[in-house]
């Protein structure tokens, strides 16, 4: 009996180890494939010779991308909105989460419910657009920064973290004559480094990847962030439609290499930071799953 | 109204004064919270109230107040127009498939990851499967288009080398939904395991010991101990998912659509953007958005009620 069980266990283990292995390969290999294509010559890409290793190694795709002022511009705007936007997010979220984490704040329950309600019943697009338009933010980068200043989810995570800070610590600071702003900046925030790091990741990745708000609120191509620019590049030469177009395949596929290079440039910052991020984001998700 | 007895008035006044003194004492806390409260008011609650334009023929010059009221005209138009009806149907079908395939995927993966005993291997796999969550939908769609390209995509190269005809994945409507659901699983399966894995590690090992003594094999242990222990987590996450039932995500769909595959792929969110925002059909698309939100809310109430009856777990 014991032998039989361990045999089926062995079969399961072989299946299990290979299945999760193959699954994670499906996540790594496409990126390696794109990387290989971005470093290959146009003709090798066109003939479908490139799989996981560059064929006829060539830097021409990257040269093209680095020469294209509009890509640089989009890159710069993405860096700008990621840095400024994340800063605004952190300040706005903390300055609402801290007061609402204090028992001295009367009426916090109703405000909290008001925030949670926005998670279930989200603000509709068209009226939101009209409000942003009324505020004169259309075609300005403010439209990417202010209307998403606080994520309700992140707010709840941060607030529940602040709540765990011992009240005695805050009382002691008050007795020492520290004002509320001082308590927040000198005691609460240093104590909350883990949650602030997680929030930085969540907000930072959000801004780096943000696409739809720019699409909704910006008409001026000079303000487009990298994701919108990238989408335009992919769309203008949709790889799926190329069989039906009459443009020569060589031209089509030379742009494919450029797209791949741009995708790589858009991924690299996240992949470089990924090992650092990983330490924090699991904790962040766990914090978020705590119920009020 | 009857005049209040003097004592009550006095009580109310002292209470008021006390409250005022309290607010004054902690005014920094209240001041600090004002920008955040204003943010939620202006960008979340004003637009919610702005949904009333669904019942108007909204005129951008007249504004919310002076636009003419038309009752349910736009809601009726929604179901009368076969194109819009098709969009609504798409949204339901895609959301339904997403719940059926995507939601259980993370649970299954978490159970499988939990059985890995080689710690280093487990850690590597986890690192890798979380990663797609951090890629944008623009990049993910670009990646899928590259791999599935009919002329030199790696998948079609494989299909051809096996002697079949290449498949034009992004050019035909029949593949739109499998691609949307598949890419969704690819992106979120690993991320979804985080909470389940934590719940799994919280299960009391003595339960398994006891089951082993009783002669239960691994499969029986999974059915009798692991799944029941996960049930509260699964229920809560499922309810949250139901609440977002039709909020499929604009980017997640829009980045995959092109003129050839949109027929089965366009959802309410992409329609609102293209027709509402770009063609200024404000009232009609707001009606669609409102319809979508109400369905989501309704399903959440139903699911919450059923879950409370069946498992004792509920969101509220």
Across the interface, whether the CB atoms of B115 and A243 are under 8 A apart is answered no
CA distance B71 to B39: 30
Q: Are B90 and B265 in contact (CB under 8 A)?
A: yes
CATH of A69-285, one of 2.40.50.180, 3.90.79.10, 1.10.3720.10, 3.20.20.70: 1.10.3720.10
- Contact list in B for residue A239 (CB cut-off 8 A) is 145-146, 149, 151, 153, 170
Cross-chain CB nearest to B150 (options A128, A240, A286): A240
Residue position matching structure tokens 């002691």: A172
Residue position matching structure tokens 């032998």: A3
What integer best gives the mean pLDDT of chain B? 88
CA distance B89 to B275: 17
- Closest CA–CA distance from residue A291 to any residue of chain B (Å): 10
As a whole number, mean pLDDT of residues A42-71 equals 86
Nearest Cα to B181, choosing from B258, B260, B259, B105? B105
Question: Residue A77 pLDDT more than 90?
Answer: yes
pLDDT score, position B8? 65
Nearest Cα to B144, choosing from B187, B104, B105? B187
Which tokens belong to B234?
A: 């699964």
Across the interface, whether the CB atoms of B269 and A125 are under 8 A apart is answered yes
Task: Give A165's DSSP letter.
Answer: S
A292 touches chain B (CB under 8 A): no
Q: Are A217 and A210 in contact (CB under 8 A)?
A: no
A248 touches chain B (CB under 8 A): no
pLDDT score, position B6? 61
Residue A4's pLDDT band (boundaries 50, 70, 90)? Answer: low
- Closest CA–CA distance from residue A29 to any residue of chain B (Å): 10
Which tokens belong to B117?
A: 């005993």
- Using CA atoms of B24, B29, B35, B37 in order, give the dihedral in degrees to the nearest 10: -90
pLDDT score, position A1? 44
Q: Are A128 and B53 in contact (CB under 8 A)?
A: no
pTM metric for this prediction: 0.89
Q: How do residues A218-243 score in pLDDT, each as one tens digit?
A: 999 999 999 999 998 888 765 444 44
Across the interface, whether the CB atoms of A239 and B19 are under 8 A apart is answered no
CA distance B266 to B94: 10
CA distance A260 to A266: 10
- Contact list in A for residue B150 (CB cut-off 8 A) is 240, 242-243
Structural domain boundaries in chain B: 16-69, 78-311
Across the interface, whether the CB atoms of A240 and B23 are under 8 A apart is answered no
H/E element, B68: strand B68-69
Structural domain boundaries in chain A: 69-285
Q: Which of B36, B147, B260 to mutate to test the interface with A (most CBs of A within 10 A)?
A: B36
Residue A283's pLDDT band (boundaries 50, 70, 90)? Answer: confident
As a whole number, mean pLDDT of residues A139-166 equals 93
pLDDT score, position A245? 45
Per DSSP, helices labelled H in B131-271 are 137-148, 154-161, 176-201, 205-213, 218-221, 227-243, 250-254, 268-271
Across the interface, whether the CB atoms of B33 and A105 are under 8 A apart is answered yes
Mean pLDDT by 10 residues, chain B (316 residues): 59 75 84 95 94 87 80 89 90 94 96 93 94 94 91 86 89 91 95 92 89 86 90 88 84 91 89 92 92 89 87 76
Give the number of other Cβ atoms within 10 Å of residue A86's Cβ. 21
Task: Give B56's DSSP letter.
Answer: E
- Contact list in B for residue A28 (CB cut-off 8 A) is 128
Residue A244's pLDDT band (boundaries 50, 70, 90)? Answer: very low
Nearest Cα to A216, choosing from A148, A144, A136, A150? A144
- Contact list in A for residue B130 (CB cut-off 8 A) is 278, 281
Nearest chain B residue to A283, by CA: B194
- Contact list in A for residue B289 (CB cut-off 8 A) is 124-126
| Residue B79: CA count within 13 A, CB half-sphere | 5
- Contact list in A for residue B149 (CB cut-off 8 A) is 239-240, 242
Residue A144's pLDDT band (boundaries 50, 70, 90)? Answer: very high
- Contact list in B for residue A289 (CB cut-off 8 A) is 195, 198
Which tokens belong to A225?
A: 């962030």
CA angle B108, B109, B111 (to 5 degrees): 65
- Closest CA–CA distance from residue A81 to any residue of chain B (Å): 16
| Residue A257: CA count within 13 A, CB half-sphere | 31
Residue position matching structure tokens 């879950």: B307
CATH of B78-311, one of 2.120.10.30, 3.40.50.12780, 1.10.3720.10, 3.40.50.1580: 1.10.3720.10
A238 touches chain B (CB under 8 A): yes
Across the interface, whether the CB atoms of B258 and A99 are under 8 A apart is answered no
As a whole number, mean pLDDT of residues A103-107 equals 88
pLDDT score, position A246? 41
CA distance A162 to A189: 9
């Amino acid at each position: 009996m014991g032998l039989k069980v361990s045999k089926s266990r062995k079969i399961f283990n072989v299946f299990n180890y290979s299945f999760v292995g193959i699954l994670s390969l499906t996540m790594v290999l496409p990126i390696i494939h794109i990387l290989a294509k971005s470093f290959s010559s146009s003709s090798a890409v066109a003939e479908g010779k490139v799989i996981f290793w560059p064929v006829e190694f060539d830097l021409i795709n990257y040269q093209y991308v680095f020469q294209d002022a509009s890509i640089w511009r989009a890159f710069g705007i993405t860096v700008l909105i990621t840095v400024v936007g994340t800063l605004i997010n952190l300040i706005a979220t903390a300055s609402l989460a801290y007061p609402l984490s204090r028992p001295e704040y009367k009426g916090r329950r109703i405000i909290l419910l008001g925030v949670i309600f926005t998670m279930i019943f989200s603000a509709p697009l068209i009226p939101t657009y009209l409000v942003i338009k009324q505020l004169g933010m259309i075609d300005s980068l403010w439209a990417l920064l202010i209307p998403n200043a606080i994520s309700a989810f992140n707010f709840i995570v941060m607030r529940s973290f602040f709540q765990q800070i011992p009240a005695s610590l805050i009382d002691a600071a008050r007795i020492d004559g520290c004002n509320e702003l001082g308590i927040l900046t000198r005691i609460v925030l240093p104590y909350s480094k883990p949650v602030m790091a997680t929030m930085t990741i969540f907000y930072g990745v959000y801004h780096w990847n943000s696409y739809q708000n720019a699409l909704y609120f910006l008409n001026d191509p000079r303000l487009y962030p990298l994701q919108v620019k990238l989408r335009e590049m992919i769309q203008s030469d949709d790889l799926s439609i190329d069989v039906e177009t009459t443009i020569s395949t060589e031209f089509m596929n030379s742009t494919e290499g450029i797209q791949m290079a741009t995708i790589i440039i858009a991924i690299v910052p996240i992949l470089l930071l990924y090992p650092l991020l990983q330490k924090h984001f699991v904790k962040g998700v766990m914090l978020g799953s705590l119920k009020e | 109204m009857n005049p209040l007895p003097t004592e009550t008035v006095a009580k109310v006044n002292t209470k008021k004064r006390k409250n005022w003194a309290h607010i004054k004492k902690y005014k920094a806390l209240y001041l600090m919270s004002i920008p955040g409260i204003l943010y939620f008011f202006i960008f979340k609650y004003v637009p919610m109230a702005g949904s009333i334009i669904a019942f108007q023929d909204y005129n951008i010059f007249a504004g919310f107040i002076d636009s003419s009221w038309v009752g349910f005209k736009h809601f009726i138009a929604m179901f009368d127009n076969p194109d819009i009806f098709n969009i609504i149907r798409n949204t339901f079908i895609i959301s339904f498939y997403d719940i059926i395939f995507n939601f259980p995927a993370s649970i299954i993966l978490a159970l499988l990851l939990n059985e890995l005993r080689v710690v280093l291997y487990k850690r590597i796999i986890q690192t890798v499967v979380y990663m797609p969550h951090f890629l944008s939908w623009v990049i993910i769609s670009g990646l899928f288009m590259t791999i599935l390209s009919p002329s030199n995509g790696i998948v079609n190269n494989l299909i051809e080398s096996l002697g079949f005809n290449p498949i034009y994945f992004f050019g035909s409507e029949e593949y739109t939904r499998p691609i949307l659901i598949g890419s969704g699983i690819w992106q979120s399966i690993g991320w979804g395991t985080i909470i389940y894995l934590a719940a799994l590690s919280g299960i009391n090992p003595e339960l398994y010991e006891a089951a082993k003594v009783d002669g239960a094999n691994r499969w029986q242990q999974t059915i009798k101990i692991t799944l029941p222990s996960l049930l509260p987590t699964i229920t809560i996450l499922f309810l949250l998912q139901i609440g977002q039932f039709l909020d499929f995500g604009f980017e997640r769909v829009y980045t995959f659509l092109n003129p050839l595959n949109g027929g089965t792929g366009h959802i309410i969110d992409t329609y609102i953007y293209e027709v509402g925002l770009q063609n200024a059909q404000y009232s009609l698309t707001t009606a669609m958005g409102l319809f979508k939100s109400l369905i989501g809310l309704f399903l959440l109430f139903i699911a919450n009620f059923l879950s409370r009856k069946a498992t004792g777990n509920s969101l509220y």
